[in-house]
Amino acid sequence: MAIIIPADLTIVTLRDGGRELPQRWTAEHAVAVLRQASNLLKGQADIEFHLGACEEVVDVMPSGGAPDALDEAGYDVLASAYTAGDGVRVLLVDRVSGPEPGVHAWQPSRVCALAWGADLGAASRMMAHGLGHLLSLPHVDSGRASETSRDNRVAAWTKNLMYSGPLSSSAALTPTQVRAARSSPLARRFGGR
């Protein structure tokens, strides 16, 4: 049985020194990315994300952080200002700075952030990755820095949707990840077990 979760999209144009910075997201592109990300997760885990609202806002990053890109401090400010409502919220910004290129997500807030991506497929996989974090899925390679890995393990990681590096066009979830996502607090909120 499909789990259907509402997703609100917020296109955030950053302001610095009284001027608005470039913003490449459009409502049409954002909705198309959500649709493909939802299709990917539906095909993998039978979890769908349906569009709730799509809004455009202008905001300033907090002092001490990057004024022209979303960083950790900026993510915290925006996630507090633009809350998830009933389902999840995806903050769409032109640029993200930080350790994971393209995505910030924090499961308890049910808010993820995504940097601009012109390639619809790649942006959709990155959004699905962020939504995966909201479904309580960690990175598959989180311990790789302290572990010597065999080539076959690395190859398996790169084909997984929850890999922390560039996502393969055939990115998938394992059966264990599917069970975890479907029983996550977010999924249970919408009928999962």
Four-way CATH pick for 3-189: 3.40.50.720, 3.40.50.2300, 3.40.390.10, 2.60.120.10:
3.40.390.10
| pTM, two decimal places | 0.91
Whether 52 and 89 have beta carbons less than 8 Å apart is answered as no
Is beta strand 111-115 parallel, antiparallel or unpaired with respect to 3-16? Answer: unpaired
The pLDDT tens digits of the residues spanning 57-113 come to 999 887 877 778 888 888 888 999 999 999 999 999 998 886 654 567 777 889 999
Q: Which of 162, 184, 183 is nearest to 171 (CA)?
A: 162
16 pLDDT above the threshold of 50:
yes
How many other CB atoms are found less than 10 A from the CB of residue 76? 16
Q: What does the mean pLDDT of the chain come to?
A: 89
Q: Which residue has the tokens 């979830």?
A: 173
Q: Any residues with CB less than 8 A from the CB of 143 and at least 6 apart, and which?
A: none
